[in-house]
Structures are given as structure tokens and as C-alpha cells.
Structure 1
Amino acid sequence: MKVYLGLGTNLGDKESNLHVAVRKINERIGEVTALSAFYVTAPWGFSSENSFLNAACCVESELPPLDLLRETQAIERELGRMKKSVGGNYSDRLIDIDILLYGDLILHTPELEIPHPLMTERRFVMDPLAEIAPGVVHPVLGKRLGEL
């Protein structure tokens, strides 16, 4: 299954944080078949002195969605992320790994929503994603990522 993940970091050695995350994704989730350029972006939803470095990757994974979520969260913890953003309260982070798309699956559970519900509102997600998957169709909106 083609899975698209969004990656972000705004603390520490940001480039290294992204490279280590991609390596762990490749080892534990599936083969990373595409990786966008790294984008320097301003914080979204909160104030911080630290700019973000964002990227997107495509992974060929056999993991079911909730196992994929558990694995991405385990990687975040290993890289030093102690808490997830809750209720729109965002903060600085060493690493953030978001599941953006899982094939053309539409999933709404208390733990996980696919496609990511805020992805199209966030340029820092859409620019790197459109770079590696411009022809992929958003399963809810029915438009190509390159158009969105």
C-alpha cells in the first residue's frame, strides 16, 4: 500500500532529525520510495522562535492503519517527542510524523483520521506532498494533490 507521511521538526539538528526519522520509517514501516525536498516553514497554530523543517515521503507498507499509527508514534518517542498536540495546542517538537494518505482509504476513528483532516489547510504539508505525488487524487476531495 502506498502511504504518504508528513514530517516536521523545529528543534535540535533539524536536518538530522528528518534523516533519522526517514531511516527508521524505512526500517520499520516499509520502503521509502520517494522523499521530498526539505522545506523551511514558519510555525503553524502557535508562536515560536524556531522555524520548522518539513518534508513528505511515500512508503510502501503492509502495516494496517492503526499499526502504522502506533509505529510512527513509537518512532517519535524514540527521537525524543514526549507529547502529541492535543485540542489544537501545538508546541515545539523534535519530530512529528503524520499519516496523510493511506492509498485511497477514508477512515474516521477516535484514534486516527485518514486522509489527515487538516492537510489541505497546511502549505507546509501540501507543498512537499505535491512535489512527490502531484497526480495522486485526494480520496475525499477528488482532486489531484498538485491542484490542491
Structure 2
Amino acid sequence: MAKHLVRAWIGLGSNLGDRGSHLARARAELGLVPGIAVVGASRIYETEPVGPEDQGPYLNAVIALDTELSPRHLLERLLDVERQGGRTRSAENSRWGPRAIDLDLLFYGDATVDEAGLAIPHPRLHARAFVLEPLYELAPAWVHPGLGESVGSLRKRLVGSEWVEVWSGEIPGWSTGLDPLEP
């Protein structure tokens, strides 16, 4: 019997150290997790930080996964990859502070989840150009299950709200595009 696969969308961000290498490492490590296949990636964008102004710009991207993991198990794997990449979560290290790697579970199919420590869709994605711009590249017609609007429609509202530009750097082996979801 074939496993049921769900398309999940993951936001990646880094603004410390070799930002591009942090994104590439996280993408590669997720591809090694049993029950996860990385099936697409946006271009990489350089973006202004949200929160404290005394930090450098971020590199951001979105990747698409096909997964048989539950939302909770997928989140746990994302947190594992963050820890392996040097991310620590504490009161002193606020959610908007600088970090080597940040992985956000944006969508998990068309599911909506509101549990302790897990909210799907990501509760702030509709207000973040640094998420919507790369997500639009891969899934402009994807409908936000809570808002009933497409990624393209949400993106239009944010044009010009924060600077987001395609990064001019290069990451060896970073390919872009999207594979179709297998039935």
C-alpha cells in the first residue's frame, strides 16, 4: 500500500555567517530525512530583517516537500535541522533575533492546525513579503486555507512593504523549480 504524501511548504532564512551555505545545508539535510522528499525550491532572496534593526539582512527561500510525516513530526524534524545548524531557542534569543538558520512550516497541504507549539498555516506568512515572494515563485495559485486567498493575491497586497530582492550570490547545486505532486 502506497503512503499518502502531503505537499508542505517550508520557509528558510539565515542572517549569520555564510548565509547561503546555511540554507543549502538545511535543504540537503531535510532531503535525507526518511519520509521527506525535497521537490522544489525558489530562488534565494535577500531581505531586510524583521524585528531588531541591529542585525544584518537575511537570505530567504521557500522549499516544497512531499512528506508522509504528520505535521507534528515534520515540525520536530525542522527543529532538529535548526539545532544541527547551530540554532538555539531561548528567551534571550528572541524569535526575531539573528540566526544562522530558521525553518518555518508555512503550509501542510490544506490543513489547519492550532495546537501548543504548532500553528498551520504559519500565522504571519500573509504579512511577510520575504515569505510570499519566494512562495509565489513556486505556488502562485496555492490557496491559504484560513484566509481563502491565493498566494498571488496575498503577495499583491504587500508589494513595496519591505525590500525583497533576488540575491545575486550563488550556491553550488541550488536548483530551482517544482516537481508536480504525485498522486
**Which segments of structure 1 move beyond 2 Å, counting only runs of 4 or more?**
none
* Structure possessing the higher radius of gyration over alpha carbons: 2
2:27 aligned to 10, 22, 30, which one? 22
Partner of 2:68: 62
The 1:30–1:127 alpha-carbon spacing in structure 2 relative to 1, beyond 3 Å, is same
Partner of 2:149: 143
TM-score in terms of structure 1 length: 0.94
Q: Aligned pair 1:122/2:140, yes or no?
A: no
Shift of 1:89: 4.7
TM-score in terms of structure 2 length: 0.77
Tell me, in whole angstroms, the C-alpha distance in 1 between the residues paired with 2:81 and 2:90: 13
CA contact (8 A) 2:55 2:98 kept: no
Q: Aligned pair 1:91/2:104, yes or no?
A: no
How many residue pairs match? The answer is 147
What letter matches 1:103 in structure 2? G
5+ residue gaps, structure 1, are none
Partner of 1:82: 88
Q: How far does the alpha carbon of each residue in 1:48-84 deviate from its partner, in whole angstroms, 9 at most, with x for none?
A: 3411000001100111011111110000000000116
Q: How far does the alpha carbon of each residue in 1:13-58 deviate from its partner, in whole angstroms, 9 at most, with x for none?
A: 1111101100011111511111000000011022234110000011
Residue 40 of structure 2 aligns to a residue in which SS? strand
Partner of 1:47: 53
Residue 144 of structure 2 aligns to a residue in which SS? coil
Q: CA RMSD in A?
A: 1.5
